[in-house]
Structures are given as structure tokens and as C-alpha cells.
Amino acid sequence: KISHPTYCSGPFDVIVHKLSDVIVEAEHDSQSQHLLANFQVNSYVSTHPSTILVDPLPAMSQLLDRFTSYRIMSQLHKSLRDRLICSPPYLEIHSVDDLSSIQQAVITQTLICKTRVAHGSLSHEMSLIFSADSLADIHPPCVLQSFVNHGAVLHKIFVVGDRHYCVERPSLKNFPPGPCDRKTIFFNSHHVSKPECSSDLTAMDEQMPHLLPPSSEAVAALVRELRVQLGMALFGVDVIINIHTHTLTVIDINIFPGYEGVPQFFPSLLAYIESLLDTNSSADSS
């Protein structure tokens, strides 16, 4: 544990960690702030700069803030437009003042509301907004993202170093376009997209044809670009296929996901660590 004085007595070549909880809590909890500072400044990491940290804390922090990660997502269409990859339009809602200005505009499509913090149990609490009046149901800070009809199928891409795996999951069903008087729908994303989960929100009309999965070339290009943009080795990407344009659409990026449905996770992680050690060894001998 981080608080133990001998937790990293070493020697270590690589440290794989999952400090996302601590990073989030450090914003408002002094004990977490102390633990994080101890790990970064007063620990083995600071005195052994050659030790590889998977993943770097600043890189992880950007995925804990949807304002930051969605800005990264919005740039994908510029670098990957030839692959027909994009992300939905979104708005950062910092305070109720932002909501007041939006309510004066006409909402022309369904919106999905997500918390700004992209980690922890509350980050899975979301809502579907169908009209300007329903904006009163949301609580800033949050993100409002255009909802894209995608045939109730979510593709989760799990990245482990230079390898990746794509797993299909259930997702939200299609909704008619345009504003309507439907009440806000509140839901937990775990209840609609976990393996084998069943929900009225994922029930599709049988007439809806099954969409083809994303092409392996497009997914590989997306992963390569995000690895460069994020500077990370362990992350997940949620993508959907737009039923109208068939565009590969990135809707979220996840920090160190659970890797459910990826039986090759540990062998892949070990292979990645070995590649890091080989690279370090070659650099030391040159």
C-alpha cells in the first residue's frame, strides 16, 4: 500500500498501478493528497527515474476529467477523417449559468448527460435529455453529448500496450430524432452495457438490421492515434456505429478499465512489460 514505508523497497524496473481512485479523491481529501504526494515525490519513483510507471499520473489524470478527454476525442476527426472516425458534438456545462444560456436555444436532438468526473460509481449515473425544459434535471459540472442512434450495440475496445481487443456489449436503443415531451430518463451505464445485462432501454425493434462491427483497420488506426495523444498503455475506448452514416463514433475513453471479456489481458500485459524492459536494456547498453 502507498502509506506503508516499505511498499516500494525495490528494486523495480516497472510499476503497474491503478491509482485512479486516489487521484480523484485527492481533489477534496487531504489523506489522499498525502498518499499521492508520497507516491510521486517522497518515494521510490522520484529517486529512481529509470523506473517505468504504467501509466504516468499526469496522463491518467486527463482521462478522469471528461472536459479534457472529450476535447481529445473532438480532435480525432481531424487526424482520422479519412477513416470515417469521429465523436459526437458536446457541451461543457460548468455551472447553472451555462444551463440558462442553453435553455434559451432550441434543442434539436436528444442529449446524453454525463458527470464531469469520469471515474467512480457516480460517473456511471447518466441521463437522456429530450427537451430544453428537461435541462433543469441535470446538475453541473457535467457534459452534454449529442445522442447518436447506434442500434443498441456498444463496442468496447480494450488497449494493452500495442495490443487491443474489441468486445461487443448491449447499449441504449434508438430514439426518434428531434425534441419531444418525453421525460428525462435517468440510468446507470453499468445496467445497460455490462455483459448479459437486460433492460428496457436496450430492447431493440426486431426490424432493426444488425450493423456490421467496426473494421479492424479503423479500430487499429484509432488505437494508434489515441496511444500517441494520451501517452498511455492501459485504457479503454467506447465506440458505436452511427446507424445513418455508419461512421465509427467515439463516445468515451476509460482509464484502466476492467478488461471483462478479455481473457488474454494478463499475457498481453506481461508481453508489454517485457517489451518495455527489452527497450530499456537496449538503451542502457548503447
Binding-site residues for 1D-myo-inositol 1,3,4-trisphosphate, please?
Answer: 124, 156, 254, 258
Report the binding-site residues for ATP: 66, 114, 145-156, 171
CA distance 156 to 145: 18
Report the binding-site residues for Mg(2+): 238, 252, 254
Q: Pick from 272, 276, 282: which is nearest to 13 by CA?
A: 276
| Helices 216-230, 66-74: inter-axial angle, 10-degree rounding | 130
| Cα 154–chain centre separation | 13
Phi, psi of 231 (to 5 degrees): 70, 35
- What does the DSSP assignment read for 171-238? -PPP--SS---PPPEEEEHHHHHSTT---GGGPPPTTSPPPPPPPHHHHHHHHHHHHHHH--SEEEEE
Report the binding-site residues: 66, 114, 124, 145-156, 171, 238, 252, 254, 258
